Structures are given as C-alpha cells and as structure tokens.
Amino acid sequence: MQTAQIESKADFGQIRYAQLWEDADVLTQALGDCQGKTLVSICSAGDNALAMLTLDPQRVVVVDLSPAQIACLHLRIGAYRNLTHAEFLQLMGARPSAQRKALLKKATANLDTASRAFWHSLRDDVERHGAGGVGKFERYFRIFQRYLLPLVHSRRTVDDIFVSRPKPQRQEFLDKRFNTWRWRVLLNLFFSRLVMGRMGRDRAFFEHVEGSPSQHVARRISHAAVECDPAENPYLHWIMKGTHGKALPMPWRKEFFDLIASRLDRIEIRPGSLEAFVSTGETACGYNLSDIFEYMSPDMFAKVYESILNASQPGARLVYWNMMAPRRVPEALQNKVETLSTLEETLKAQDKAFFYSDFVVERVKE
C-alpha cells in the first residue's frame, strides 16, 4: 500500500492520553482479589487495563469512546507480543532510542489494517517522542518542560528533584530550592483554567469544577515532592524531564512484562461507552473507572452509577479518581455500597499520579 493511501485510511481521531496518568500500583491494590473474575476497565492508553492482568482475572473487558485511545491498547498488545522489554521501553519513550520507527513496525506487524495505518501515520511523532508521548496531554507537558520550566529552574535543580532524600530534606528542597517566585508565576499561568482547557484538557472538564487548577496543582506538588519520594515517581519524572528515569509505571516494569504478555488473550476490547457495557446484562467484579465521573453532571453521574451497580456482582469494587470535581457514591445509593475508607487513605498516601485530589474505593454490599 502507498503511504498516502495508508494515512488517508486512518481516521481514529486524536490521541489525548498516550500513556496512563493514573497510578496502576494503587489501582491494582484497590481492586483486591479478582482471581478468575471479570473486570472492566476504561481504556485510556491501555496501560492500566494491562496492569489489571497481574490480578489473574478471567478477563478484562476494556471500553473507551475514543478509537484513538483503543488504538493505544492495540499498539501495546502488539508491543508486548513482539518486542523485548528493553525494546518496549524504547518504543514507549521511557528510554532513549534511535530505532523507534523499526520498533513501531515490529510492534504493529500483526495488528488489524486500520490500527497499523493509524500508527503508521504517527511514525514521525513516535520516533521523536516515543509512543507514550504522542497524546495531546503529553504535548502539553512537553511545552511546559522544554520551553517554560527552563525559564524558572536550572537543569541541575530539575535533576536534583530526583535525588532520594529523607522527608524533612524533601520539604526543605521544595521550600528553599523549588518553590521560588518564578515557579509560582509559571504555575499560575500554565495551570490557569484558560491554558489548561486550550492545551491539555477539554473545556467541558471544567464545567463541574470548583477552585483554580493552579491552586490544586500546588497542593498536589507538595504531596508528590514531600509526602512521596520523587525518586520513585515515574509520572513526575516524565513531566519534568520528558522521559522516565529509574522508576517506571507498574505495567512497564520488567517484573510484570512476561506475566502481562502471557495473559494478553484475556483482554476483551469493546469500543464504545461504559454505559453500553453495563446495559448488556453482563456483570463484573471490579471496575477501573479512571476519572470519567468528573466529566458528567451530578445527575448523569447518579444515573450511570446506579447502572454500574446493577452490573456488579456482590462484593464488586468500583475504583475511580477525581481531580477537581467531587464524586462519590450518590446519597440515594449509599445503602447499597460500602466505602473502603482505610484502604483509600493508605493508597491515597502512596498515589504517585499526583494531580488527583481524591481516590475512591467503593464495594457493593453482599
């Protein structure tokens, strides 16, 4: 097939999230014992649906409204099948590479024609940024990291963030070296409602949100930089340096690579909405709901929540994040659900994907 022909066939829309910005370590702990059960996951870039395979479920049903996001999962499936772990990291952008185009070809070799065509059309971007760097959200971080951060902090200061040190010294580093007046100006400008809406997130996202994004980000930076150890944080590393260091997101770590690769046939991809899945009459034992509730009005949220409960087995867990819009089990359904508060608190303290303000683990009563 001619290149132009291939490209004109790929019309999946845009990738928003080329990698998962939700911490799979806390997600998998929150889901509990799922051995032999059915799980459901929002796809996004696919990483967390793949991480859920480590729980040894019977299957993970993956849904997403966006064909481009589903294509991210297809790419990963091809990559786990056809690449070594070192090659996988290079393709994704976690490690430097001069051979990403060749790796992309190898990873997509056995995919369906449309997915292959889609990724072929993105080959130059993949070569430059890695497959985990080609989304709108990652582009937003790249502008921040390449053009704005250097106006505020030297390379040495940025590198120093990732030196492991005890908590009191992390606080001192944040107060004395990082949180300068220049940093605060940058934070207020870059994470303003207007700029975030334009460059990273949909404007619609802010319809149900209170407070300023920059105030929220400042609070969460303190969590990531002081409460947690930045040296262990792959998300912070990518934002500040455009790639990963020693720390990797859970499903990208070597110790899980072969296990995930051996269970790929348990992934069941259902392009479309979560609402479509829950109306099929099938039930599940655990849901990774990303932060989709934030995109819904409170009324719509209550309706969708109820339909999820109807598609849940007793004991099923609903796991989700909130960034700025508060969402928890609607009042009218509280008698059907128990909040696992102790587990939530433990996992919130460990959550490395630091921009979320709330992490929710709810369990359907038996």
Task: Describe the crossing of helices 136-143 and 234-241 by its angle, rounded to 10 degrees.
Answer: 60
Q: Which of 356, 360, 306, 359 is nearest to 331 (CA)?
A: 306
Orientation angle between helical segments 213-222 and 181-190, nearest 10 degrees: 130
Decide: helix, strand or coil at residue 56: coil
41 binds ligand SAM (CB under 6 A): no
C-beta closer to ligand SAM: residue 174 or 292: 292
Report, in Å, the least distance between residue 206 CB and ligand SAM: 14
Question: Residue count at the site for ligand SAM (CB under 6 A)?
Answer: 19
CB closer to ligand SAM, 174 vs 325: 325
Q: Is 20 in the site for ligand SAM (CB under 6 A)?
A: yes
The reply to whether 27 sits near ligand SAM by the rule CB under 6 A is no
Candidate residues 24, 40, 42, 62; the one interacting with ligand SAM per rule CB under 6 A: 42
| Binding window for ligand SAM (CB under 6 A); candidates: 40-48, 86-94, 241-249, 357-365 | 40-48
Angle at 38 between CA 34 and CA 41, to 5 degrees: 95
> Which residue from 93, 290, 305, 348 is in contact with ligand SAM, where contact means CB under 6 A?
290
Q: Reduce the DSSP state of residue 291 to 3 states and report it.
A: coil
Q: Which of 66, 179, 339, 357 binds ligand SAM (CB under 6 A)?
A: 66
Q: Tell whether residue 295 is a contact of ligand SAM (CB under 6 A).
A: yes
Question: What is the Cα–Cα distance from 61 to 42, expressed in whole angstroms?
Answer: 9
Please report the beta strands in the chain, taking only residues with DSSP state E, as ranges in sequence order: 38-42, 59-64, 267-271, 284-288, 312-322, 337-339, 358-364
Exposure string over 108-120, b if 16+ CB within 10 A, otherwise e:
beebeeebbbbbb
Of residues 21 and 257, the one with the C-beta less far from ligand SAM: 21
User: Looking at beta carbons only, is 40 or 361 nearer to ligand SAM?
Assistant: 40
User: Among 60-68, 80-88, 257-265, 330-338, which window interacts with ligand SAM (CB under 6 A)?
Assistant: 60-68
Total residues belonging to the chain = 366
Distance of alpha carbon 66 from alpha carbon 12, whole angstroms: 8
322 counts as binding ligand SAM under rule CB under 6 A: no
Q: Is 64 in the site for ligand SAM (CB under 6 A)?
A: yes
Contact call for residue 274 and ligand SAM (CB under 6 A): yes
List of residues contacting ligand SAM (CB under 6 A): 17, 20-22, 42, 44-45, 63-66, 69, 273-275, 290-292, 295
